[in-house]
Amino acid sequence: MAALGWLTPRRRSATARSVLAGEAAAEAARKSSQTIEALEAQDVTAPAVEPVFPVAGDERAAAFFDLDNTVMQGAAIFHFGRGLYKRKFFQRRELARFAWQQAWFRLAGVEDPEHMQDARDSALSIVKGHRVSELMSIGEEIYDEYMADRIWPGTRALAQAHLDAGQKVWLVTAAPVETATIIARRLGLTGALGTVAESVDGVYTGKLVGEPLHGPAKAEAVRALAAAEGLDLTRCAAYSDSHNDIPMLSLVGHPYAINPDTKLRKHARQLDWRLRDYRTGRKAAKVGIPAAAGVGALAGGTAAAVALHRRRR
């Protein structure tokens, strides 16, 4: 989806819609994090042969994880669509399209712009007129049915290392923020930045606030959240599989390429970023992974994002 110009984060400035999507996601994420219970810190003993990372007790540091193919195998929106089909939200024709998009994503290992846009448009049309609370309840069931078994253990360990160090951990994804928040809570993470769908009086309108949280919009969301939380981005970490997330990865002082696509792998090697591939078990070209890694509601948020959208109008 990303053009080659995105390889350097400032070559292509974020559009006004990207900024709006990022700010809406950040505001929704801060609201949602209040409903998620933090995991108790676990004692982690780091070997003396290398510096400890993440740094325990560094409250100005946090970690940002992409979701699809970084934390979870496949795309969350496709799994969600499968669950909605089971509950007769749409017909077999739409299911076939979701299935094809998911198969392509898993085989190619990269995001196709047309497939992802089509999936988002389909999802918006499907949920239009439904209550946010209804979809949140269904999302809990869908996570257990289709997503729980698709979490990458290696990436989960990386996230836990940051939690154990007393740092906040956020998902950053183009998936609906409601779905992302459910996943974050189930994994014991702090919260989630995701695409915000507009709702009025708790009912989806079929429109987005801004645009999908993708590419530059993700970077804007992370920047906005960091400012609100008082974080120092040079001390933060970000993890992703996609070259589309280079703007987000370039914001932080500790970028990681997880299960990287070809373009991201090349870019990461050029900049000496850390890499890790959990798809085959092969060692990355530069491991450099934290030692600790080896050890191991949103209705209110949506309403807040809509309020932000109205204020900006």
Provide the domain limits for residue 298.
281-312
CA nearest neighbour of 167 among 258, 54, 36, 249: 54
Output the CA–CA distances (angstroms, integers) from residue 152 to 57, 88, 237, 241, in the order listed.
Answer: 26, 29, 18, 12
pLDDT tens for each residue of 221-244 = 999 999 999 999 999 999 999 999
User: In terms of domains, do 95 and 238 share one?
Assistant: yes
User: In terms of domains, do 303 and 227 share one?
Assistant: no
Q: Identify the pLDDT of residue 96.
A: 56
Output the CA–CA distances (angstroms, integers) from residue 227 to 63, 300, 312, in the order listed.
Answer: 14, 21, 19
pLDDT tens for each residue of 36-65 = 654 344 444 433 444 578 889 899 999 999
- DSSP class of residue 86? H
Residue 275 main-chain phi, psi, to 5 deg:
-130, 150
User: In terms of domains, do 154 and 264 share one?
Assistant: yes
Output the CA–CA distances (angstroms, integers) from residue 91 to 80, 87, 117, in the order listed.
Answer: 15, 10, 19
> Please, which pLDDT band fits residue 308 given cuts at 50, 70 and 90?
very low
Structural domains counted in the chain: 2
pLDDT tens for each residue of 78-134 = 888 888 888 887 765 555 555 555 555 545 545 555 555 555 666 677 788 889 999
User: In terms of domains, do 304 and 225 share one?
Assistant: no
pLDDT tens for each residue of 65-93 = 999 999 999 889 888 888 888 888 776 55
Answer yes or no: is 8 within a domain.
no
User: In terms of domains, do 32 and 98 share one?
Assistant: yes
User: In terms of domains, do 191 and 242 share one?
Assistant: yes
Answer yes or no: is 289 within a domain.
yes
Output the domain CATH number for residue 92: 3.40.50.1000
CA atoms within 13 A on the CB side of 255: 24
What amino acid positions are annotated as catalytic residues? 66, 68
Strand partners, 254: 237
